A and B are shown apart, each in its own frame.
Chain A
Amino acid sequence: ELKVEQNPLFLSMQEGKNYTIYCNYSTTSDRLYWYRQDPGKSLESLFVLLSNGAVKQEGRLMASLDTKARLSTLHITAAVHDLSATYFCAVGTMNRDDKIIFGKGTRLHILP
């Protein structure tokens, strides 16, 4: 059974600092997603990673995927307050049933 673990679950950091959120998963998968959720809001898709070594960047966020290590990272560069949110990684099963399993989320709080 596919399990997805994120760490840390809570992160408080200063503006201008860099940090990385980690997402480990337990069984083989060929697709990994990062979502952002603001308080009281829906989930917004940030990145879709489909192959080993895939790297995608959008502004101060960069996501990468290592399928051999079953690890994805979400790197935040020079954090700004607007990036405060909960970030979820989600991993697709290999059953081709469109099912994705979410991690517990990382609540990111960026102090001005």
Chain B
Amino acid sequence: DTAVSQTPKYLVTQMGNDKSIKCEQNLGHDTMYWYKQDSKKFLKIMFSYNNKELIINETVPNRFSPKSPDKAHLNLHINSLELGDSAVYFCASSLSGTGLYEQYFGPGTRLTVT
């Protein structure tokens, strides 16, 4: 009964391909996030959704498109993959309204673009 799960765990693909990463949480949270962690371990937020509504949309190439079919799921689709997209992508979730906004992270998806 994993709290925040992501699939796949590893993804190796060629430049120009389109790929998707899926995230699911069973914590009953209403807010979900995508982060990118680069090779230097720097974590940067990309998107967040609250109850299926886009809340945070950082300066991310429009090749990246998040989709939230319901508040327990947040997927990330990436078009025309580039070498610079290689990174670990983390999904996270939190419960709004508590004042804590503590985020719980998934195991990560290591994307390698060749």
- Give the chain A neighbours of B92 by CB distance below 8 A: 43
Asked if B14 is at the interface of the complex by the 8 Å CB criterion, the answer is no
Verify B56–A97 contact, CB threshold 8 A: yes
Which positions in B face A, CB cutoff 8 Å?
31, 33, 40-45, 48, 50, 55-56, 90, 92, 94, 96, 99-108
Taken together as a complex, chains A and B put the C-alpha atoms of A50 and B99 apart, in Å, by 9
- Give the chain B neighbours of A70 by CB distance below 8 A: none
- Give the chain A neighbours of B90 by CB distance below 8 A: 42-43
**Can you list 29 A-B pairs, Cβ within 8 angstroms, ordered by A?**
A31-B101, A37-B41, A41-B108, A42-B90, A42-B105, A42-B106, A43-B92, A44-B105, A45-B102, A45-B103, A48-B102, A86-B41, A92-B101, A97-B55, A98-B31, A98-B55, A98-B94, A98-B96, A98-B103, A99-B56, A100-B101, A100-B103, A101-B45, A102-B43, A102-B44, A104-B40, A104-B42, A105-B42, A105-B43
Which positions in A face B, CB cutoff 8 Å?
31, 33, 35, 37, 41-45, 48, 50, 86, 88, 92, 97-102, 104-105, 107
Taken together as a complex, chains A and B put the C-alpha atoms of A35 and B90 apart, in Å, by 14
Besides A45-B102, A99-B48, 12 other CB < 8 A contacts?
A37-B41, A41-B107, A41-B108, A42-B90, A42-B106, A42-B107, A44-B105, A48-B102, A88-B43, A105-B41, A105-B42, A105-B43
Q: How many A-B residue pairs have CB under 8 A?
A: 59
- Give the chain A neighbours of B42 by CB distance below 8 A: 102, 104-105
* A49 smallest CB distance to B (angstroms): 11
- Give the chain B neighbours of A98 by CB distance below 8 A: 31, 33, 48, 50, 55-56, 94, 96, 101, 103
* B1 smallest CB distance to A (angstroms): 16
